Amino acid sequence: MTEASTPSTPANTQAQSDALRARADALETALARFREEDLALDLTRGKPSAAQLDLLNTLDGVLAGNFLCENGSDARNYGPLDGIPEMKRLCASYLGIDPSEVLADGNSSLQLMYQFVLWALRFGPDGQHPWADECRQAKFLCPVPGYDRHFALCEELGIEMIPVPMTNSGPDMDVVERHIEEDPDIRGLWCVPKYSNPTGVTYSDAVVSRIAALGKRAAPTFRVLWDNAYAVHDLTDAPPSLANVMDLAKAAGTADTIICFGSTSKISLAGAGIAFMGATAVNLDAYRDRLSLMTLGPDKVNQLRHVRYFKDMDGIRAHMRKHADILRPKFVCTLEHLDRALGNRAAGTWSVPEGGYFVSFNGLPGTARRIIALAAETGVALTPAGAAFPYGYDPDDAHIRLAPTFATLPELDKAMQIFVTCAELVAVRRQLGAND
């Protein structure tokens, strides 16, 4: 990994240098004081807070002994591999597709993605054309910065990752289309289309249309992994809308390329919710064939209590407004600290998300690792530098993902005081020509 070049100092006048040195001293003193507090704060993972989870305490007991599903089957017994019909209907509404194209299985969408990619390599996404046989080296296009676990999954399964820049409206589609046309080994494109992890970007209609049509340019077993993890995770009352990728792909004749994923992990209970995927019969049948050897079906009791609790998408949206009321002050706190401390100091830029779980910070090139190390020394854990990039490598060493949801507001307030102090100190030291 290369270090970005350090800005030279000759342009600094003596007075400017003195002012910068004084500022660095003040920031160092502030950090020394924080260190005396022996803090252990954590802004690493995008987890819901206890207050959000408390919103769902009445989920426990909602069944009140009534385990009968709408089709008369008993949720306590073995049943359909795909999930119970009422849950599939709810998942279908979430994904904006037909219930016949949905499979509700397990508690983790990441697990569904892992299995999908593993089985596509070994058996083919259609159950007939394994990527491992078709490609010299299967490759995925990875919008960056992106979700670290998508990238870890690819690395583990030996899929080569090609970074694609994210723009304010989604992945740079000129780059995506060029790669697909030039490289016959490309088999996947990762997408987090709403409030993308970590940039908060919602893909524009034009980008979604181009993604939906990629199947016309790509190999027949190319797939878009449409991880719509944050579809209803709005922070405002006027959220951006996301075009329906499956409808667009159906219109373009490319529906088999679209594999949608979602879960209630950040709606109901993280790790104890419902995960689901949506795809055409070609993909779903192949997936189901493998799944049928692996399990006798999902936890239908949990599915039933979720549907009884939320009922429909209106129920989910009403619940998510309560999440937003808890999360909004945390995002406001995070952004206020950034604005106040760094707004006029050219020490970085950051996203102002309308939803999702993250704030994406870009420091000066070559400073992210140093800021993160300094924060760690001062008692604030941040996601490792480069985590949002394939192979953990941020070529600019500039990006830092901030996850403000889990901490309490006082903890977040303190963590952000420390973060902005570290970010400014590293920027000031750079301006002074320091190389650390």
Structure tokens at 252: 């373009």
Spatial distance between the Cα atoms of 364 and 144, rounded to a whole number of angstroms: 17
Examine residue 10 and say whether the peptide bond preceding it is cis (omega within 30 degrees of 0).
Answer: no
Spatial distance between the Cα atoms of 32 and 377, rounded to a whole number of angstroms: 10
Please state the closest distance from residue 147 (CB atom) to ligand PLP, in A.
4
Please state the closest distance from residue 210 (CB atom) to ligand PLP, in A.
21
Mapped onto helix, strand or coil, the DSSP state of residue 236 is coil
Map residues 146-185 to x or -, x wherever contact with ligand PLP holds by CB under 6 A: -x--------------------------------------
Spatial distance between the Cα atoms of 159 and 51, rounded to a whole number of angstroms: 39
Q: Which stretch binds ligand PLP (CB under 6 A): 103-111, 158-166, 208-216, 334-342?
A: 103-111
- Asked whether 249 and 212 are in contact (CB, 8 A), the reply is yes
Map residues 208-227 to x or -, x wherever contact with ligand PLP holds by CB under 6 A: -------------------x
Interacting residues with ligand PLP between 265 and 304 (CB under 6 A): 265, 275
**What sign for the dihedral angle of Cα 234, 47, 414, 366?**
negative
Measured from the CB atom, the residue of 12 and 44 that comes closer to ligand PLP is 44
Residue from 197, 283, 351, 360 in contact with ligand PLP (CB under 6 A): 197
Q: Which stretch binds ligand PLP (CB under 6 A): 25-33, 102-110, 152-160, 334-342?
A: 102-110
**Interface with ligand PLP, residue 192, by CB under 6 A:** yes
Sheet of 258-263, strands arranged across: 102-104, 275-278, 258-263, 223-227, 186-191, 139-144, 160-167, 170-171
**Interface with ligand PLP, residue 87, by CB under 6 A:** no
Sequence-distant (≥ 6) Cβ neighbours of residue 324 within 8 angstroms: 234, 235, 236
**Interface with ligand PLP, residue 229, by CB under 6 A:** yes
Measured from the CB atom, the residue of 227 and 424 that comes closer to ligand PLP is 227
Sheet of 399-402, strands arranged across: 348-350, 359-363, 399-402
Helix orientation angle between 109-123 and 281-294, rounded to the nearest 10 degrees: 100
User: Phi first, then psi: what are they for 190, rounded to 5°?
Assistant: -80, 135
Interacting residues with ligand PLP between 317 and 356 (CB under 6 A): none
Residue from 34, 43, 46, 361 in contact with ligand PLP (CB under 6 A): 46
Task: Return the closest-CA partner of residue 257 out of 342, 182, 188, 166.
Answer: 188
Structure tokens at 266: 């950040």
Interacting residues with ligand PLP between 114 and 153 (CB under 6 A): 147
DSSP-assigned beta bridge partners for residue 277: 103, 261
Spatial distance between the Cα atoms of 158 and 200, rounded to a whole number of angstroms: 28
Measured from the CB atom, the residue of 105 and 397 that comes closer to ligand PLP is 105
**Interface with ligand PLP, residue 202, by CB under 6 A:** no
Measured from the CB atom, the residue of 79 and 262 that comes closer to ligand PLP is 262
Please state the closest distance from residue 432 (CB atom) to ligand PLP, in A.
38
Please state the closest distance from residue 108 (CB atom) to ligand PLP, in A.
3
**Interface with ligand PLP, residue 420, by CB under 6 A:** no
Please state the closest distance from residue 424 (CB atom) to ligand PLP, in A.
29
Residue from 41, 90, 97, 110 in contact with ligand PLP (CB under 6 A): 110
Q: Which stretch binds ligand PLP (CB under 6 A): 106-114, 156-164, 296-304, 333-341?
A: 106-114
The contact set with ligand PLP (CB under 6 A) reads 46, 108-110, 147, 192, 197, 227, 229, 263, 265, 275
